Amino acid sequence: MTLKTTAEVCGMGHSMKRKEDPRFIRGQGHYVDDIKLPGMVHLDIVRSPYAHAKIIAIHTDKALAIPGVLAVITGKTLEQFNLHWMPTLMSDTQMVLPVEKVMYQAQEVAAVIATDRYVAADGVEAVEVEYEPLPVVVDPFKALEPGAPVLRTDKPGKQDNHIFHWEAGDRAGTDRAFAEADVKVKQDIYIPRIHVASIETCGCVADFDRAMGHLTVYMTTQAPHAIRTVFALVAGHVGLSEEKIRIISPDIGGGFGGKVPVYPGYVIAVAASVVLGKPVKWSEDRMENLQADSFARDYHITAELAARRDGTMTALRIKTLADHGYTDAAANPSKFPAGLFSICTGSYDLKHAFTEVDAAYTNKPPGGIAYRCSFRVTEAVHAIERITDVLAQELRMDPAELRLKNFIQPDQFPYHSALGWEYDSGNYPAALALAMKTIGYDELRREQAEKRRRGELMGIGISSFTEIVGAGPSKQFDILGIKMFDSAELRVHPTGKVIARFGTKSQGQGHETTYAQIVAEELGIPAAHVQVEEGDTDTAPYGLGTYASRSTPTSGAACAVAARKIREKARKIAAYLLEASEEDLEWETGKFFVKGAPQKAKTIQEIAFAAYTNHPPGMEAGLEAVDYYDPPNLTFPFGSYICVVDVDRGTGAVKIRRFLAVDDCGNIINPMIVDGQIHGGLTMGMAPALLEEISYDENGNISGGSFMDYLVPTAMETPAWETAKTVTPSPHHPFGAKGVGESATVGAPPAIANAVVDALAHLGVRHIDIPITPEKVWDILKANGVAE
């Protein structure tokens, strides 16, 4: 059967009326979307209504007849330049525009270039596409069954939908430990697809200068240098070599991992600018963003935990199937196709563990975004913290007592986990003890027992997680072969002011404050006199960008090391100025002075001026340094969260009454920024636990493709978060920091899930997949005869 559709008929249209509808307002950011360049034209995209279909024909005549429409680009157009496919960050391939078939609903099919964004939208509606529907596969288990339709027919010799198999640990030893165990528990856990839903959607302005052969792209990317390299790899054969490409990432209205990849819209805009010689702007609307990019999770996990009767955990075994959609576009380090999922032993001293992950192609958009989590750590933490509570329930043991019994102890660090990681430092018992004392754990348990006798439903959930951040050591971590170091360049001007440039890119984490404070601490130059710059590949040193909580552990470390290089040169200049030997000088923040004669001193500002006017003979002038920091190990922040919920028997609604987050991110640079990161992360962790989910029916039709049915938390649903800290410095980091930006989104979901299950445990409930919606809870209450 052949069907002819237009974008308007398919519900993918962008008519003027729909653009004025507040439900379809574009990203709301005052960033890339506000850029206006002389002669700029606009790009809008035709999207597929089908999850899997052969393209019979694309009719563009009606669109090209609209005044103001300059061009319509299809896969056939890009194929002429071999630009219709591009590499993903995991060395797979991804369509820019399809030539033969579409692979998921809302996939880009064609692009319309016009003088005005609304004219471009009218052009999109006028493009007619003829499709022949093909069999749809949205279940990854069915995708791996013998005889399932092979989706990636573009791969020569590909005869199945299997992407990779990855494993870690000792399979045989773990199997023996399970065979010898007194108690074994097993739980299937599904973590559904969710979306980053950042305030600003993805967008770019591509500006190709024909005279200079130079491309400038303003874009919403978290990793400007990596994107420039990818562009050069994709388009170098048509003359866009890396030195002729400039990526500028201005203010970004949220990233959370969703703005690390290269999306087709970016490449199409660049291609259009090169062909037309005009600046081309592309900016998604909200539905395009929710339906076609930035997907996370979609992990089907089977977790098993073995223990002795006294509660001592002896072995962990996890088997996972990952749904990556039609291509593996995850942004994981190359050697870790399943990310850092092998942190799944968590905070526990497990002697035996084995985990394996398989990935499958399905007719869904590319998945695998590390949404505010360090490469699949959220999934790992959810698995271990949920199965730990399942074991506690099986043993009829308090979940706090079980955790305290099995924690890695402070004197065991550096700790070598059964799955191959070397944890740098930690004090897990102290964090949980502080959380229990602060929230009044014993009193809450007594209150719960009293309420249960009255028929009221109250639950207490714990999540004692270990994170793994700071990617990464170059011996293990790279993306597309690029080592995951990061960088800082510091230049002290003659008047003692500093410009500091970094390879990272802030999306609201407060880099401008944090980095300036590091400089101030290391050099004694006031933070107000430090100008921080990021996001411009023509000025910033090469870096891998901001994600996976790596800014302070990597670029922050680079900043400290670069500052110390400057301080060493400053020592030589100070010795010259003070007519003393370097060994006779002592450093006090902001100045060098002669030992025993503190009045004989030179401030860093005086030294800076001398570096340009009166430096020692033979010394190179200037006072600046660059450092590319290659960490010796990752850092391992951790925390213990306790959540208290009340469940309404009449509606199934879950209310978070209290939530206490105790975090340990090593030494803290700015407490206010850390608390802000935690508060935001807790809200984003609550979202998938109770609200957010992207799902698909058997035909690949998306549910959750607009803010009408994809529920993000507002201030009304967000409780008053409580926070506390312990401090366990990282022994290998230059100033003992570990990173915190993603801890809350990692630790919060299992704490909330554990609390809801705890509220219903006396009814025989052992597990509920997130999001734990009122409907799910109501069905359980009704089935047990306790619903009101």
Strands 313-323 and 352-360: parallel
| Cα 139–Cα 140–Cα 142 angle in degrees, nearest 5 | 70
Task: Render pLDDT for 399-456 as a digit per residue (tens, 0 to 9).
Answer: 999 999 999 999 999 999 999 999 999 999 999 999 999 999 999 999 999 999 999 9
Mean pLDDT of 366-394: 96
Residue 465 in contact with residue 471, Cβ under 8 Å? no
Mean local confidence (pLDDT), 148-166: 97
Q: What is the pLDDT of residue 30?
A: 54
pLDDT band at 294 (very low <50, low <70, confident <90, very high): confident
* Overall pTM surpassing 0.85 (yes/no): yes
Active site residue 742: yes
Specify the residue for token string 């230059």: 734
Residue 2 pLDDT: 64
Residue 12 pLDDT? 40
Nearest to 323 by CA among 164, 512, 469: 164
290, 442, 630, 765 from 389: Cα distances, Å = 33, 18, 38, 12
Q: Torsions phi, psi of 299, nearest 5?
A: -110, 125
Nearest alpha carbon to residue 284 among 705, 697, 711, 714:
705
Contacts of 498 (CB under 8 A, 6+ apart): 490, 491, 492, 519, 523, 525, 529, 530, 531
pLDDT for 33 equals: 86
Contact 674, 742 (CB under 8 A): no
Yes or no: say if 624 and 652 are a contact pair by the CB < 8 Å rule. no
Q: Catalytic pick from 202, 204, 344, 373? A: 373
Q: Are 256 and 371 in contact (CB under 8 A)?
A: yes
Q: Which two tokens stand for residue 89?
A: 């960050």
Q: What are phi and psi of 642, to 5 degrees?
A: -125, 130
CA dihedral angle for residue 148, residue 152, residue 156, residue 157, rounded to 10 degrees? -20
Give the C-alpha separation, 132 to 150, whole Å.
17
**pLDDT classification of 6: cutoffs 50, 70, 90:** low
Q: Work out the percent of the chain whose per-residue pLDDT is above 70.
A: 96
| pLDDT of 313 over the 90 cut | yes
Bond prior to 414 in cis (omega within 30° of 0)? yes
Q: Which of 372, 376, 403, 550 is catalytic?
A: 372
Residue 9 in this model has a pLDDT that exceeds 90: no
606-645 pLDDT, tens per residue? 999 999 999 999 999 999 999 999 999 999 999 999 999 9
| 373 labelled catalytic | yes
- Per DSSP bridges, beta strands 597-603 and 162-169 are unpaired
Specify whether 657 is catalytic: no
Among residues 105, 107, 222, 677, the one annotated as catalytic is 222
pLDDT (0 to 100) of residue 239? 86
- pLDDT of 26 strictly over 60: no
**CA gap 203, 417 in Å, rounded:** 42
What is the C-alpha separation between 699 and 710, in angstroms, rounded?
A: 19
Q: Which residues of 575-600 are buried (b: 16+ CB within 10 A; e: fewer)?
A: bbbbebeeeebeeeeebbbbeeeeeb
Q: Which residues pair with 629 in a beta bridge?
A: 486
Q: Quote the pLDDT of residue 13.
A: 38
Flag whether pLDDT at 175 surpasses 60: yes
List pLDDT tens digits, range 234-260.
Answer: 888 888 999 999 999 999 999 999 999
What pLDDT, on the 0 to 100 scale, is given for residue 29? 39
- Of 737, 776, 747, 734, nearest to 682 (Cα)? 747
Let me know: does 625 contact 562? Beta carbons within 8 Å: yes
Both structure tokens of 319: 């088997």
Give CA separation, 648 vs 7, 52, 462, 748, in Å: 44, 42, 21, 21
Q: How far apart are CA 361 and CA 90, in angstroms?
A: 14
- Percentage, residues of the chain above pLDDT 90: 93
Contact (CB, 8 A) for 378 and 193:
no
Separation of alpha carbons 7 and 29, rounded Å: 26
What would the mean pLDDT of 20-31 be, rounded to a whole number? 41
| 28 flagged as catalytic | no
